[in-house]
Amino acid sequence: MRIMGLDFGSKTVGVAISDPLLITAQGVEIIRRKSEDKLRQTLARIEELIVENEVSEIVLGLPKNMNDTVGERVEKTMEFKGMLERRTGLTVTMWDERLTTVAADKAMMEAGIRRENRKEYVDQIAATFILQGFLDLKSNRKE
């Protein structure tokens, strides 16, 4: 059993999956779509990944504003959460994703990835940070 982390954006969804022991998160892929409202193929791909990786739970990044308010992005993310729950039957936990994209960008900068290439990976790395934060919290609660 594994946990899936998702970074839901307007045209992409970054995907990360935990190891079977629920200790580490690994980036898997970025699902891209042509239009913000075209989610059928995105949901189908997420379902495929759930089956392939024996996922039992999903963690979805919640894009709150820095001042802790919610905006249009949060509303769209909550709609996506409902779609995921209905379609997969899995529990979807929301995770505060503030600064994950900034952290992902910084990690790529430190790794020497050129600026023009960072957009290609940022959502997948952000999903990894979302999931890793969740896994770390779970691990600390057990101890």
Condensed to tens digits (0 to 9), the pLDDT of residues 40-71 reads 999 999 999 999 999 999 999 998 767 777 77
Residues 6+ apart with CB under 8 A from 12: 30, 31, 32, 33, 123
Least confident of 8-12, 105-109, 120-124: 105-109
Tell me how far apart the terminal alpha carbons of the chain are, to the nearest angstrom: 20
> In Å, how far from its chain's centre is CA 98?
12
Entry pTM = 0.86
| Alpha-carbon span 33 to 12, nearest angstrom | 6
CA dist list (Å): 123 to 30, 61, 66, 83, 141: 7, 11, 19, 20, 27
Q: Which of 107, 95, 102, 99 is nearest to 132 (CA)?
A: 95
Q: Which residue ranges make up each domain of the chain?
A: 2-142
Task: Domain 2-142: state its class.
Answer: alpha beta
